Structure 1
Amino acid sequence: MRVVVPFGGRAPKTRLASFFDADERRDFATAMLRDVLDAVTDAGGDPSVVADTRVDVDAPVTVDDRPLSAVVEDELGSDEPVAVVMADLALATPAALTRLFETDGDVVAAPGLGGGTNALVVRHPDFSVDYHGASILDHRHIARDAGLSFVEVDSMRLAVDVDEPTDLVEVLLHGTSRARTWLTDAGVELECGTGRVEAVRHRR
């Protein structure tokens, strides 16, 4: 299956600025992207990256700095199934992606924890995307209005997209690849107090 991986590499992960400087955020975002590409490939997908700047990864890269919805929309519209997988799914595994790819439906979606759409499989040319706001709601409505089946895949590993400092906890707890290694090498650790576990950074 053809898999499009959008990547914002020009100024990524600004909400992690309390932990990392701009160069570090770019390195961390690239580590997550590489993890996602490996998981897609191991799940039998054929990944390509659409990025707002050049990025050195082991996959074809197209540079396109338009908004996300416009970029993805240009990848749809044919009878060929297309998957769209976000580049910051640091917990994605081949098993989770295989389940997504193999689930039947005109549109198959993996919702994000905050109301986003972290991954999609589109099998019908009448579907369009809208990634603004609570996009999972928009995508349900778009599919319904087009008379298309819309199936949601409940997957923790595809639900966690890394945007906020609290998301780093999930990577440290459940990650096994480059992104987790990058965090530990940068001095990010878990701190267990009397409430929720938090991520803290001890600069070296």
Structure 2
Amino acid sequence: MLHDSPMRSDAPNPQPGADTPTTDMPDVGRRIRGLREERGLSLSELARRAGIGKATLSGLENGTRNPTLETLWAVTAQLGVPLAAAVGTGPVAHGAAVQGVLLEVFEEEGATYELYRLVIPAGTSQTSPAHPEGVTEHLTVFTGTLRAGPADAPLPAGPGEHVSWRSDVPHTYAAGDQDVHAGLLIRYPRRP
């Protein structure tokens, strides 16, 4: 998945894997820089931990790059925060395969939840990086069939079916021979 800050509603719909224009990348960059600095991490150290280039992270923090969702998840995982802490709510961009919209962020005493509407084009797949320890994903398929879950043991699901997994390991989403429309709930446990 690729994820950016809120997109303009009139923005073109890019191809999966393409960078997506947004109207709020400077805000996303400021949030990420603030989170990094709160944790006492250098730009180089966070880039190394997230497995991305220092120039990529610098461009993200300066609001000059539209990162993929995979990049944002890699960065926020290393910062130990939910994705919404960096991007807020609103439309989301495209990843290698998954296209999503962050619909809502829910807070409760022990966890933060992010609710997404997903579309995975027929015949595509992507592997997402591990989230922080204890994070779980709960996916409900509305149309199409897919395999999703831990990269080494993805679970099948079709219309009306639900799969859940711990997503603190690399995990995958792969659509069958038709587009998949699904809802995804990600649960981030709160750290003491």
Bigger proportion of residues as strand: 2
| TM-score of the two chains, using structure 1 as the length reference | 0.28
TM-score normalized with structure 2 length: 0.29
User: Which structure has the greater CA radius of gyration?
Assistant: 1
Structure that is richer in helix per residue = 1
